[in-house]
Chains A and B, each alone.
Chain A
Amino acid sequence: MESHIQSLMEVLQQTKGYIYPNEVELHWGLLVVVYPYVTGLVAGAFILASLERVFNVKEVQPTYRLSLLTALAFLLVAPLPLLAHLGHPERSFEIFLTPNLNSAMAMFGFVYAWYLAVVLLLEIWFDYRKDAVVWSQKETGFRRFVHRLFTLGANDLSEEAVSFDRSAGKFITFIGIPSAFLLHGYVGFIFGSVKANPWWSSVLIPVVFLFSAMVSGIALILILYMLTSLFRRVEIDMRCADKLASFLLYALIIDFSLEMLDFIHRLYEAEESIEILSQMISSRLFISLVVLQILLGTVVPLVLLGIFSPAFHTRAFVNAPAELRRLIYFCAAILIQVGIFSTRWNVVIGGQIFSKSLRGLTVYKVELLGLEGLVTSVFLLILPFLILYVLVKFLPPWPEAEVTLPSKSQS
């Protein structure tokens, strides 16, 4: 704790203007930035999967199962930054026992449980059930055990059973779309409903969160699709990649418009907080907001995708060969990840860097080690990929790995 006091002393030296004495300690740090970033990826990946299932966008079929597994991998990691951040994680189950229904945060437990159990796990189950049954028949040892466990003993492979699986999956995806909106939208509402904080309190925040989630999720799947195809030495389906890039561009345009609307609205109304917020943006948040979020994270990908992806016509503005397009998509997607992470940073950290007295600014000192440190957050961001690796090993999402049953059930 000594080092904590020491770092707070340093923060105290670096405050500008006047902050309330209790505001020296910044409470929601890097871990709380990671959380909406991760749930955003979940929601975005799921929406992409639903594009195929509900809206019948056939081109993105190769990424359907990958999107679901990615969403699951990130969803499993999502509560970890929250638990690590709590003052008393061992009491975290109280959210399930006595949730305060007036609090947006109390909804976390239920929305999370609903989304995990009723939407994501069920959807994966229904989609993989027949494959798991067939695999478990042919395998031995641990793999067989896992797949048998997965099937929950529902081993019916008849045509009715399999078509039930398909329609159930479709239904679940259908209810999954508003559920995905809720999963990430409520996080936006947690911030947007805090009237004490003029940087957060806004009707637009849940909507901006949602669309930036979709942007990051689609970008993530694009990156994963390309990387996994590279690792597996498999040809990338360019129609799929182009389609992903197109949807990425649509979502990015909407996201950018919403953020610009918020920005213009703030400047125009010029409420009491505008002075300190402008100071904050031009000093403390300049790099993370102007450079990373807006320029590198939004404008550059908008331009790249706008020029090179066939989003608004059968052909793109500039027709680039497939290798170049792949590279551009990849770069755009990486920049977008950086940009969306910066967005979360700017919302969470930005909201606490200025004083509620509107008279001063403090600093956020990121520690390297410790539960709230950089190392922990990097680990939490890598962990979903490790989980995804394990999931992919047991539930391969590749189109060629999918089991096709003969048209009549075997006796």
Chain B
Amino acid sequence: MKRRDPSAMPGSREADGPANEPVDRRQFLSRSLPAGWVLLTALTGCGGGPAGPVEGGEEAASGQAPPGGAEAPAPGAEEAKAEDPLAGYDPSQHNYAMAINVDRCIGCGRCVEACKTENDVPREPFYFRTWIERYVVQRNGHTVVTSPNGGISGFPPVEEAEILRTFFVPKLCNHCDNPPCVQVCPVGATFKTEDGVVLVDHDYCIGCRYCIQACPYGARFLHPVTRTAEKCTFCYHRLVKGLIPACVEMCPTQARIFGDLDALSSPLARFQRMHKIQTLKSHLNTEPKVLYANLDGEVS
């Protein structure tokens, strides 16, 4: 191989083409950098979890996407669902919200139990899509708040003597109209649907947990198995079938009401008419869509 003297002809272009270089530097760099990135991620990653968007791209490339606008379900799903779960459902007709009458909640925890069952939420006491808090406002001005295992098995007895007021408050994701969690997601894995529900894309979420930090209500958690962010979905899989969320279904006192904000006559509309409505942390301007009636000022 001819050895060039680099300083022989200053400023002139090299006579040799790429074939004569010992290594084509450009090719080397353009191959090694992406490969290095992949290697880095592979070394530090656990590689678990469902297939990522690459599969979606491959699906597109191989033309497997069904025609007619109906979309295939999760690429990682075991069985290929023949029917489209969204068939016949028009999201533009809905704007979902939930109303909670604090005066009706008896703290039985049926809603928490139903939610964990319906949505396969891990049973350990660190993962809740909804939970119940008990507030005990004492005569000495202190307020004690408890939520033993989210209230899923009810609450233990409480000493009566010092109580000024006491009540239960159900909490869940507020499905805000101005959601801070959607704002901070770096990749677009959480989003607000046309019908007002905030969902998480479990095949796209990278598990950075910024959304969990950004939620003012503590409504989100990281699922220990999928390692993606998770939260209440208003039981979206029930909504598209005309059912109501499991927690609303199970509540024995109708403390939770569910419906469309735009519907003129519905339990939700009546609720909004008959009660003074509060929302949690309204000063943060997240525009929550869980409307509380009879919410005590101590509730934080």
Q: How far is the CA of A351 from the CA of B206 in the complex (A)?
A: 22
A80 close to B (CB within 8 Å): yes
A100-108, A301-309, A390-398: which lies at the B interface? A100-108
Contact B216 A195 (CB under 8 A): yes
Contact A100 B186 (CB under 8 A): yes
Q: How far is the CA of A378 from the CA of B174 in the complex (A)?
A: 40
Contact of B209 among A28, A100, A161, A410 (CB under 8 A): A28
Contact B6 A86 (CB under 8 A): no
B126 and chain A: residue at smallest CB distance: A24
Chain A residue contacts of B184, Cβ below 8 A: 100, 102-105, 193-194
Chain A residue contacts of B90, Cβ below 8 A: none
Contact A86 B213 (CB under 8 A): no
CB-CB contacts below 8 Å: B1-30 with A: 4, 6-8, 10-11, 14, 21-23, 25, 28
The B interface is mostly helix, strand or loop, or mixed, namely loop
Q: How far is the CA of A354 from the CA of B101 in the complex (A)?
A: 28
Chain A residue contacts of B224, Cβ below 8 A: 1, 4-5
Contact A103 B219 (CB under 8 A): no
CB-CB contacts below 8 Å: A99-149 with B: 99-100, 102-106, 108, 133, 137, 145, 148-149
Q: Return the CB mask of B95-127 against A: 1 if under 8 Å, else 0.
A: 000000000000000000000000000001111
Contact of B25 among A149, A194, A359 (CB under 8 A): A149
Chain B residue contacts of A98, Cβ below 8 A: 187-188
Contact A196 B213 (CB under 8 A): yes
Q: Select the residue from B10, B150, B208 with max chain A CB neighbours within 10 A.
A: B208
A257 close to B (CB within 8 Å): no
Q: How far is the CA of A21 from the CA of B123 in the complex (A)?
A: 12
Contact A25 B44 (CB under 8 A): no
Q: How far is the CA of A320 from the CA of B205 in the complex (A)?
A: 57
Contact B206 A158 (CB under 8 A): no
Q: How far is the CA of A393 from the CA of B80 in the complex (A)?
A: 57
Contact B213 A28 (CB under 8 A): yes
Chain B residue contacts of A356, Cβ below 8 A: 216-218
B64 close to A (CB within 8 Å): no
Contact of B180 among A80, A84, A195 (CB under 8 A): A195
Chain A residue contacts of B133, Cβ below 8 A: 18
Q: How far is the CA of A76 from the CA of B42 in the complex (A)?
A: 16
Number of interface residues of B (CB under 8 A): 72
Q: Whole-angstrom distance from the CB of B235 to the nearest CB of chain A?
A: 18
Chain A residue contacts of B300, Cβ below 8 A: 357-359
Q: Whole-angstrom distance from the CB of B170 to the nearest CB of chain A?
A: 12
Number of interface residues of A (CB under 8 A): 70
A191 and chain B: residue at smallest CB distance: B213
Chain A residue contacts of B233, Cβ below 8 A: none
Chain A residue contacts of B204, Cβ below 8 A: 91, 94
B185 close to A (CB within 8 Å): yes
Contact of A102 among B52, B149, B183, B216 (CB under 8 A): B183
A348 and chain B: residue at smallest CB distance: B213
Q: Select the residue from B4, B10, B216 with max chain A CB neighbours within 10 A.
A: B10
CB-CB contacts below 8 Å: A2-22 with B: 4-5, 8, 12, 18-22
Q: How far is the CA of A371 from the CA of B147 in the complex (A)?
A: 31
Contact A88 B52 (CB under 8 A): yes
B128 close to A (CB within 8 Å): yes
Chain A residue contacts of B261, Cβ below 8 A: none
Contact B185 A100 (CB under 8 A): yes
Q: How far is the CA of A283 from the CA of B79 in the complex (A)?
A: 53
A90 close to B (CB within 8 Å): yes
A155 and chain B: residue at smallest CB distance: B6
User: Can you list 23 A-B contacts with CB-CB less than 8 angstroms, sorted by A residue number?
Assistant: A18-B145, A20-B171, A21-B147, A27-B209, A28-B213, A80-B40, A83-B45, A87-B228, A88-B205, A91-B204, A92-B41, A94-B189, A97-B53, A103-B186, A104-B184, A145-B22, A155-B6, A155-B7, A157-B7, A351-B213, A356-B217, A356-B218, A357-B218
Ranked nearest first, the 7 interchain pairs of A and B with the lowest CB-CB distance are A87-B207, A155-B6, A20-B218, A87-B227, A89-B45, A196-B216, A106-B186
Which B residues fall within an 8 A CB radius of A? 4, 6-8, 10-11, 14, 21-23, 25, 28, 37, 40-42, 44-49, 52-53, 124-128, 131, 133, 143-147, 149-150, 171, 180, 183-189, 204-210, 212-222, 224-228, 284, 300
